A = this chain, B = another copy of it.
Amino acid sequence: MNSFILKGDICYSTNKTTLKTHKDAYAVCVDGVCEGVFDSIAKEYEHLPLYDYSNKLIIPGLSDLHTHAPQYSFRGLNMDSELLSWLNNNAFYEEAKYSDMQYADKAYSIFCDGLKNSVTTRVCIFSTIHTDVTKLLMQKLEESGLVSYVGKVNMDRNSPKNLCEESGEKSASDTEKWIADTKNKFKNTYPIITPRFIPSCSDGLLKNLGEIAHKYDIPVQSHLSENKDEIRWVKELCPESSSYGDAYDYFGLFGKGTKTVMAHCVHCSDEEVELIKKNKVFVAHCPASNTNLSSGIAPIKKYTEKNLRVGLGTDMGGGEKDSLFCAIVEAIKVSKLYYRLIDETVKPLTFNEVFYLATKGGGEFFGAVGSFEKGFEFDAVVIDDSVLPHPQSLTIKKRLERSVYLSADTTGIKAKFVRGNKII
């Protein structure tokens, strides 16, 4: 079932700057794992079934390192405020609705349909504080065929009443129970520890969550240094911590053996960047969200030059689109404005660099994911770029660049494979 060959025009990143392209080539999948890309089919693979996508683009699946499932419904709405007031007036208001299982069922079906039909194959997701509803989301994601980490969110302070858990202890014990229930329940869907952010979690809760993460070997996701008011607030709440990241680190929620992804990292101090690097924390770069909420521009080029681990995030509903093609374009665009408006010594990101982040860079959070090199889990998306007519023939690289810039994913996705399973 999970062994086959795809034929078509294949492109994938091998390192931060190199995009390999192969015309009329064969990507071979055996038991859900990539054997490589070849110009002809070797004897040993001749018996495998072949999907013929000639003249279509075949790319690795893309990884979305940060998004909020309950916010999918209000993406593209009420974009006129900054983080802290936006959370109170929009995000929290919407998330409170998810105490209603019926509403959640409807909304999460729409979310999972959207994601399934996008170029994303792997994703890190925030749900809400509601445990049962989070399980429902995990069930739906499992049915979609995508691979995901899903977090029941923890919030026990500075939150509206209807989104504030009754105590840190209860929040932690609910989380532990939820982990026990879901850790081995699904093939492709896993729990992830998800303190919303420092301001909404008491010290006691953070301490408990750090312990749970280590005890069960569960990864961690949260938000880091997104907005200047937020950072000032964290400084007030954690006066002993030398940085926002250091506060997570104090509670064992910042890498160091526990796989961790932190969204945003727009305003990290130099020391914080060093800690991210030392602890091998992943940075989820969410350019659309950082612009929509007037947060600023994360200096991603600096991070990649320091060899930090970076991937892209759509961060719905701070970001408006679930498309990682759009996230690639946004990342390139804001890097140009960073260069022009903030620091001309920091060169803009190139297409190749950001395509790498969206595939192999972010894919690393999930293991050997995001490339067609031998040994990578087989995630692939087939794009029919003839939906974007052109007066003459183009190279594969140009066809890919154009497909990404012109959102060929809106109407051009012809097939999608995750871990060797065909899900579209």
Contact = CB atoms under 8 A, between A and B. Distances in A.
Contacts of A320: 329, 405-406
Contacts of A341: 296-297, 337, 341-342
Given A296-B340, A341-B341, A402 B76 contact: yes
Interface string A387-424: 00111101000100110111100110000000000000
A296 to B, nearest CB: 5
A79 interface: yes
A99 interface: no
A60 to B, nearest CB: 20
Contacts of A295: 340
Interface string A77-101: 1011000000000000000000000
A291 B297 CA distance: 13
Nearest to A321: B406
Interface string A50-83: 0000000000000000000000010111011000
Contacts of A80: 348, 350-351
A216 interface: no
Given A329-B320, A391-B110, A406 B294 contact: no
A73 to B, nearest CB: 5
B336 A294 contact: yes
A153 interface: no
Contacts of A404: 76
A407 B410 contact: yes
B391 A103 contact: yes
A73 B103 CA distance: 45
A161 interface: no
Contact of A75 (B77, B342, B405): B405
Nearest to A108: B391
Interface in A327-378: 329, 332-334, 336-337, 339-342, 348, 350-351
Contacts of A171: none
Contacts of A79: 332, 351, 401, 405
A292 to B, nearest CB: 7
Given A103-B391, A292-B333, A333-B292, A405 B76 contact: yes
Nearest to A287: B333
A333 B405 contact: no
Interface string A178-199: 0000000000000000000000
Contacts of A288: 333
A43 interface: no
A218 interface: no
Interface in A258-312: 288, 291-292, 294-297
A75 B339 CA distance: 22
Contacts of A107: 391
The interface centre, meaning the residue of A333, A339, A401, A404 with most chain B CB atoms within 10 A of its CB, is A333
A237 to B, nearest CB: 24
Contacts of A110: 389-391
Contacts of A177: none
10 contacts: A75-B402, A76-B401, A77-B398, A77-B405, A80-B351, A103-B391, A103-B392, A106-B391, A110-B391, A320-B406
- The 6 A-B residue pairs with the shortest CB-CB distance, nearest first, are A76-B405, A107-B391, A106-B391, A294-B336, A320-B405, A76-B402
Interface of A: 73, 75-77, 79-80, 103, 106-107, 110, 113, 288, 291-292, 294-297, 320-321, 329, 332-334, 336-337, 339-342, 348, 350-351, 389-392, 394, 398, 401-402, 404-407, 410-411
Given A77-B401, A113-B389, A295-B340, 14 more contacts: A73-B390, A75-B402, A77-B398, A79-B332, A79-B405, A80-B350, A103-B392, A107-B391, A291-B336, A291-B337, A292-B336, A296-B340, A297-B341, A407-B407
